[in-house]
Chain A
Amino acid sequence: GIQVEQSPPDLILQEGANSTLRCNFSDSVNNLQWFHQNPWGQLINLFYIPSGTKQNGRLSATTVATERYSLLYISSSQTTDSGVYFCAVEATGTYKYIFGTGTRLKVLA
């Protein structure tokens, strides 16, 4: 099955810093989403981005499906950005979403 690797696994930032999270996948995908999991376990949908670039406030994402990766940019990070970030992909023809390994982010005040 498809392999979905995220990097870095852990990241510590000072408040106000910028960061880039990466999601690599081993096969072609039809869909890709980015999620933020808060300390209570809730998954917040950040982007539905099978291709192209999207922006939402301080967050933006880019997926280059032909090169099998997606990037999530966080600018001017805040302590509330702390948590785990996951990408999830639907490999072509599978009709199911597989989650990446996750990036655990901690933003320090």
Chain B
Amino acid sequence: GAVVSQHPSRVICKSGTSVKIECRSLDFQATTMFWYRQFPKQSLMLMATSNEGSKATYEQGVEKDKFLINHASLTLSTLTVTSAHPEDSSFYICSATVGNSPLHFGNGTRLTVT
């Protein structure tokens, strides 16, 4: 149980385009989803917290207009990287939880912007 599916696993896009990443909880309804970013050989940095039906809460230093997060249902959250640039290349990973329970992670998306 507690499976989180994230797509795509890899994406290469040209500078200036937008990329959407999906995160789905397959067998549970996630009250909260988190988006993290990880640069090579570094830890995971929390980007934002999203709750179904409300606006995401972004961490300090994360541009909300660049990283659009939508949590339209209890099983789906999306992260859109708008007008991507090479410095946005990174590993993005989502997680989901319900209530006071453990975090469950998707397998991550490796974004390369050329």
Contacts and interface: CB of A to CB of B under 8 A. Distances in A.
A96 interface: yes
Interface stretch (B13-21, B63-71, B74-82, B101-109): B101-109
A56 to B, nearest CB: 13
A104 to B, nearest CB: 8
A100 B43 contact: yes
Interface residues of B, number: 22
Interface of B: 32, 34, 36, 38, 41, 43-46, 49, 91, 93, 95, 100-105, 107-108, 110
A71 interface: no
Nearest to B97: A97
Interface of A: 30-31, 33, 35, 40-43, 45, 48, 86, 88, 95-102, 104
Nearest to A45: B102
Contacts of B95: 97
